[in-house]
């Protein structure tokens, strides 16, 4: 466990934050590449979209955490805004980020389904990278186990939480738990590979890839949640019902789009269309430049 990677002039560079940043940057680059090669959407939209996604992630993740820990915040409402003290729920960030993203796309009149398909593998890859940060930080840990467990030391988050809950033997100086962070990380990487292969070798209908991602991600979380430690059964089953809803909605979207949407274009068609668009834009700029020269007034000569 390495919660702090290193320090610079007393300022801690935390591994969790660094891995989240890496996941976000890699996801943005992958999204930009997919949009350029697989759609006619201008990849430049990624920067503006990322801004609203970040806002949705921060607000949604915090609100979900507050909801699931309301007894704690009911006594200290000001603590809701102390996000630097930690406390976020992935589901909340994911859902609100999608909502904010869809609102942004609607306002900009950008087709949503091609972008959702493009963003699905980026989210899966980000999950794989980000959960490594959870493991190194010690958060999102599993229940105590004597089978296939990972041992966290005395000063770790799992030891502190499990000791407080009375789930460790008396006199214990470490906590052996299910490595749920690594299960989710491995599942994220595996899901990314599957989605990438589907993009590479199949022609699904528009929107189907996102539906497959949503259902698969929900199934992954549903299985891992049984091994993950939660403070109470309410938090466990809140997460489980959300996971089930992801599966149901994902399957429904995949089936619905399979009957109502056209197939995604081939990379060759996209490349040809982009070439035509670039040529048309070049001709338009040349024509406007010539027209400007034609109607430009001659300068008066000075005597």
> Within this chain, do residues 171 and 185 fall inside the same structural domain, yes or no?
no
> Which phi and psi angles does 13 have, rounded to 5°?
-100, 105
Residues of the chain below pLDDT 50: none
- 228 contacts 143 by C-beta, under 8 angstroms: yes
> Within this chain, do residues 186 and 227 fall inside the same structural domain, yes or no?
yes
Q: Domain range for residue 103?
A: 21-144+179-280
> Within this chain, do residues 166 and 29 fall inside the same structural domain, yes or no?
no
Contacts of 188 (CB under 8 A, 6+ apart): 124, 125, 126, 127, 128, 129, 130, 131, 220
Which pLDDT belongs to residue 84?
62
Which pLDDT belongs to residue 1?
67
Number of domains present in the structure of the chain: 2
Q: Which tokens go with 266?
A: 């081939």
Which pLDDT belongs to residue 34?
95
Q: Tell me the per-residue pLDDT of 35-78, one tens digit each, with 9 for 90 and over.
A: 999 999 999 899 899 999 999 988 998 888 888 778 778 887 88
Which pLDDT belongs to residue 301?
55
Q: What pTM did the predictor assign?
A: 0.88
- 61 contacts 53 by C-beta, under 8 angstroms: no
CA distance 246 to 195: 17
- 209 contacts 194 by C-beta, under 8 angstroms: no
Q: Is residue 196 part of a domain?
A: yes
Query: What is the C-alpha end-to-end distance of the chain, expressed in Å?
Result: 82
> Within this chain, do residues 192 and 241 fall inside the same structural domain, yes or no?
yes
- 143 contacts 33 by C-beta, under 8 angstroms: no
User: Torsion-angle region of residue 59: left (phi > 0), alpha (psi -120 to 50) or beta?
Assistant: alpha
> Within this chain, do residues 86 and 208 fall inside the same structural domain, yes or no?
yes
């Amino acid at each position: 466990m390495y919660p702090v990677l290193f320090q610079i002039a007393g300022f801690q560079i935390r591994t969790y934050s660094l891995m989240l940043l890496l996941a976000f940057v890699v996801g943005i680059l992958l999204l930009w590449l997919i949009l350029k090669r697989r759609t006619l959407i201008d990849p430049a939209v990624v920067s503006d979209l990322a801004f609203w996604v970040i806002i949705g992630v921060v607000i949604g993740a915090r609100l979900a955490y507050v909801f699931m820990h309301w007894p704690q915040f009911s006594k200290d409402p000001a603590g809701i805004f102390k996000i630097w003290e930690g406390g976020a729920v992935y589901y909340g960030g994911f859902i609100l980020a999608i909502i904010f993203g869809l609102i942004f796309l609607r306002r900009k009149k950008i087709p949503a389904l091609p972008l959702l398909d493009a963003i699905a593998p980026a989210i899966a890859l980000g999950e794989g990278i980000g959960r490594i940060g959870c493991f190194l930080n010690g958060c999102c840990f599993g229940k105590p186990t004597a089978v296939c467990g990972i041992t966290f030391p005395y000063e770790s988050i799992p030891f502190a939480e499990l000791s407080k809950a009375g789930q460790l033997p008396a006199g214990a100086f470490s906590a052996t738990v299910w490595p749920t962070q690594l299960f989710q990380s491995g599942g994220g990487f595996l899901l990314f590979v599957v989605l990438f292969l589907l993009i590479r070798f199949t022609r699904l209908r528009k929107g189907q890839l996102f539906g497959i991602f949503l259902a698969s991600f929900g199934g992954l979380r549903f299985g891992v949640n049984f091994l993950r430690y939660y403070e109470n059964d309410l938090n466990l089953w809140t997460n489980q019902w959300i996971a089930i809803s992801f599966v149901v909605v994902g399957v429904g979207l995949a089936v619905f789009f399979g009957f109502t949407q056209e197939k995604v274009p081939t990379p060759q068609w996209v490349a040809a269309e982009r070439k035509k668009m670039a040529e048309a834009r070049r001709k338009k700029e040349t024509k406007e430049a010539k027209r400007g020269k034609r109607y430009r007034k001659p300068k008066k000569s000075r005597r």
